[in-house]
Amino acid sequence: MEPPAKLLGHSLHHHLVAFPLGLIVTAVVSDLIAVQRDWPDLARAAAYMLAAGVILGGVAALTGLLDWAAIPSGTRARRVSTLHGGGMLLTIGLSAGAWLPRRDDPANPSTVALAIEIAALLVVLISAWLGNELVVRLGVGVDRGAHLDAPSSLSGRPTSESETLPALRRRSVR
């Protein structure tokens, strides 16, 4: 499936997601180190990383929405992309929820803010795996001839296998 939003022939969404993912993950790790080491400057930097991750996550989400809309309904790719997008939106929401209470004092994350950041980290890890499944396994945003109903990479089955493959084999035998 060829992506509708492209830059120099490549999916714009694939390029944009690296920034919010990196910022949000680094913010969580930085905050945990800052709290452990009593390092307020690192906590302040983490707060700014969270804010930037939320903003850039919104931009990446817009391009992801364009890609999602181009995926045919009823395909495994559409189901996986819906879960991926929902998880990423939840990650953005959780990250915003962790950042908002500390915007007046970014150097001092509360225990609640840290717990929300850790929850966002767990959600983003799962959602990023789903995004990788879309690109690597299902070819979404990569190839016009993508196999949008390939089985999960966890199934151990090849991508050429699908619900329609037995029917294709029966036709070729005749």
pLDDT of residue 75: 93
**What does the pLDDT look like over 60-112, one tens digit per residue?**
999 999 999 989 999 999 999 999 999 999 999 999 999 999 989 999 999 99
Distance CA 99, CA 17 (A): 19
Nearest to 11 by CA among 71, 57, 63, 62: 63
Q: Which domain holds residue 47?
A: 10-144
Tokens of 116: 């929300």
In a domain, 160, yes or no: no
Domains held by the chain: number: 1
Q: How confident is the model at residue 40 (pLDDT cuts 50, 70, 90)?
A: very high
Average pLDDT on 19-24 reads 96
Query: Is residue 6 classed as helix, strand or coil in its secondary structure?
Result: strand
Q: Read off φ and ψ for residue 6, nearest 5 degrees.
A: -125, 155
Q: What are phi and psi of 95, to 5 degrees?
A: -65, -40
pTM > 0.85: yes or no: no
pLDDT for residue 57: 97
The answer to whether position 153 is within a domain reads no
* pLDDT of res. 160: 66
Cα distance between residue 102 and residue 122, in whole Å = 21
Q: What is the predicted pLDDT for the residue at 146?
A: 62
In a domain, 53, yes or no: yes
Residue 17 lies in a domain: yes
Q: Which residue has the tokens 């966890």?
A: 154
pLDDT of res. 106? 95
pLDDT at 39 over 90: yes
- 131 lies in a domain? yes
Q: 159 and 150 in contact (C-beta within 8 Å)?
A: yes
Looking at the domain assignment, is residue 81 inside a domain? yes
In this structure, the number of other CB atoms found within 10 A of the CB of residue 155 comes to 10
Cβ proximity of 102 and 39 under 8 Å: no
Portion of the chain with pLDDT greater than 90, in percent:
67
Residue 3 forms part of a structural domain: no
Element (H, E) at 7: strand 6-7
Interval 133-139 mean pLDDT: 86
pLDDT bracket for residue 56 (50, 70, 90)? very high
Q: How confident is the model at residue 42 (pLDDT cuts 50, 70, 90)?
A: very high
Q: In this structure, is residue 5 part of a structural domain?
A: no
Nearest CA among 82, 19, 80 for reference residue 53 = 19
Give CA–CA dist 120/112, Å, rounded.
12
Residue 46 φ then ψ, to 5°: -60, -40
The pLDDT value recorded for residue 167 is 44
